[in-house]
Amino acid sequence: MRSLLRFLARNYFFLLFLLLEAVSIGLIVNYNNFQRVRFFNSSNSVTASIYEKFNAITSFFALQKTNAELADENARLRTQLEQYKQVFIPLDSMNIAEGKEEQELQTPDTTLRQFDFIPAKVVNNSFIKQYNYITINKGSNDGVAVDMGIIGPGGVVGIVTSVSKNYATGPTILNKRWSVSAKIKNSNYFGTLAWDGIDPHVARLNEIPFHVKMEVGDTIVTSGFSDVFPEGVPVGIIEKFDHASGRNFFDISVRLLTNFANLSYVEIAKNNHLEELIDLQKMNTNE
């Protein structure tokens, strides 16, 4: 208490000045319309600016949650789509009886679904090196295993080669040691798509015969001839192609659909038939 009194005694004139200043401002604002409008406009501007900064911060954290929820939903929908792709209902197999208004459609069998998809967040990703890798925040505890494909919003990203309990890592398509089987959409002609280590936006599609018809802008998708990715996952679009003399194949440049500089969430493709396929392939090699 004595300290407070000593403080007031020492700063009496300064505190009195502040009090009178506040009273003066109040009188001016209350009895002068122009000054009152200017005062409230200024205070509203400051308040709005503070609220804007606060909302930006809260929106940032809310956006992270929203993105995670969207990643979960995309994985669920991709799994569901893969399930329905396994079911084909020809028209003549439907029970079309005269006068019957409703048809009994076949319900997809979950045992037929070859791939499930696990959503994950990217925690590390390189794209300016010759051998680029990605790390995600899902591991063996989440069902992730080696040789599972990684798919982003644009399409193919890479493959899992190392797994811990809570994380997984592997090369991306921007890695000169890794390639993926791909084909021209709506075509049975497939080849090997690989990166040449030059442009992080462009890869090369090899082994496409020169008699195959194609156009710039055609979509390149996974062929489905591997255990890693389902058929039809987007990879890129044809940017240009030419036929070098003396060669039987096109030289095709493919602009990748995945933006590796802005990759936050991915999905892991889990092949439910992998063990069965491996066992079957082992039988062929033993013959």
> What is the per-residue DSSP string for 10-75?
HTHHHHHHHHHHHHHHHHHHHH-HHHHHHHHHHHHHHHHHHHHHHHHHHHHHHHHHHHHHHHHHHH
- pLDDT value of position 236: 96
Tokens of 238: 């044809």
Please say whether the beta carbons of 270 and 150 come within 8 A: no
**216 contact partners, CB below 8 Å, separation of at least 6:** 238, 239, 240, 241
Task: In whole angstroms, give the CA distance from residue 171 to residue 150.
Answer: 10
Alpha helices in 104-263 (DSSP H): none
Local confidence pLDDT in tens for the 287 residues of the chain: 667 667 667 776 776 777 777 766 666 656 565 555 454 445 444 544 554 565 566 555 556 665 665 666 566 666 656 555 554 444 444 444 444 444 444 555 555 678 999 999 999 999 999 999 999 999 999 999 999 999 998 999 999 999 999 999 999 999 999 999 999 998 889 999 999 999 999 999 999 998 899 999 999 999 998 889 999 999 999 999 998 767 789 999 999 999 999 898 999 999 988 888 777 777 776 65
Cα–Cα distance between 139 and 145 in angstroms, integer? 7
In 88-213, at which residue ranges do the beta strands (DSSP E only) sit? 115-125, 131-136, 149-151, 156-159, 162-163, 168-175, 179-184, 190-194, 202-206
Query: What is the C-alpha separation between 177 and 164, in angstroms, rounded?
Result: 22
pTM of the model: 0.66
Q: Distance between alpha carbon 14 and the CA centroid of its chain, in Å?
A: 61
Q: Where are the alpha helices (DSSP H) in 89-225?
A: none
Give the C-alpha separation, 67 to 162, whole Å: 26
Which domains are assigned to the chain? 114-285 (2.40.10.340)
* C-beta of residue 166 within 8 angstroms of C-beta of residue 178: no
Which residues share a beta bridge with 215?
A: none
CA gap 200, 214 in Å, rounded: 23
**C-alpha distances out from residue 178 to 82, 193, 195, Å:** 25, 9, 8
The predicted structure's pLDDT at residue 82: 58
Q: Which residues pair with 222 in a beta bridge?
A: 182
- pLDDT for res 75: 62
pLDDT score recorded for residue 193? 97
3-state secondary structure 197-233: CCCCCEEEEECCECCCCCCCCCEEEECCCCCCCCCCC
Other beta carbons within 10 Å of 255: 17
